Structure 1
């Protein structure tokens, strides 16, 4: 029973799922539903389609074990694809005059990915699940404080699931969460206040 619950938590609160919802809600703080949906679609391509397609292709080629990319040595290529996707998005969003909140969020996400990339290869792997839920919490804190604190409660469940499933150690869980919350809070208080 606990095993299944932990697996469901990890699947439902997978970083790709959180990225889209968070993008839409952050955009909604300053933009209409229509504009928020439009720009969320653009973000979906860079946040989910490009990295997920790469991971799926590499899984089919037997170069990566699964969507969570649990083997630390396999993460390098995924980080590089993710970083390339984020850099491309930042340049494109700048050139086409995307909403400044979206551009800024992508810049902060890019900085977080650079930090996570460095930690992953110098210290230990970090929990992408915890980075996702940490960013969701901190990005939503200004516009949706009640929802943000609900997300914080879910962070405890995500941490438990990753630890219970033996996907991460406690330091990996804490570092993923701490890096994302730190980066996200700087964005949230700098940009959304």
Structure 2
């Protein structure tokens, strides 16, 4: 239960970090590096897709109806929409086949995200990152290790402490109470 709660609440924390990263990018004008920015947008969409299919996995009322409503949005795609929805569902409605497919997507998408993240970092390495001072000279830069690696390690420990505390003391604070009711398409 500890790992499951840390995983579920960690997804929310992950999105907080992503939105802070996007806000920083907007503030410093990182969108001017179009290739790096566009790969970041693709990453955001992949992470959102992974979070959505992960949200369906507990198979509660909110999960069931979230899957039903969001997947039905794909039926608006011209020509292939209804076929696409039935393929995702694995039948004519959200059912056990849908749950199996979503579990598979939730397992496989992080590998795709890792690959796209490497591409994002490759483009970032080519263009260089933005900073508050706007410095681009190599003489003004400091090495990643030990300065930033220790700083990142401290941030990781603080995040781990926050997730563990949340999982131990307030495990369901970020969850919807309706999702504790088992999925029932008749309700």
Place the TM-score, normalised by the shorter chain, in its bin: 0.3 to 0.5
Which structure dedicates a bigger proportion of its chain to helix? 1
Rg comparison, structure with higher value: 2
Q: Which has the higher contact order (CA 8 A, sep 6+)?
A: 2
TM-score, structure 2 length as denominator? 0.34
TM-score, structure 1 length as denominator? 0.33
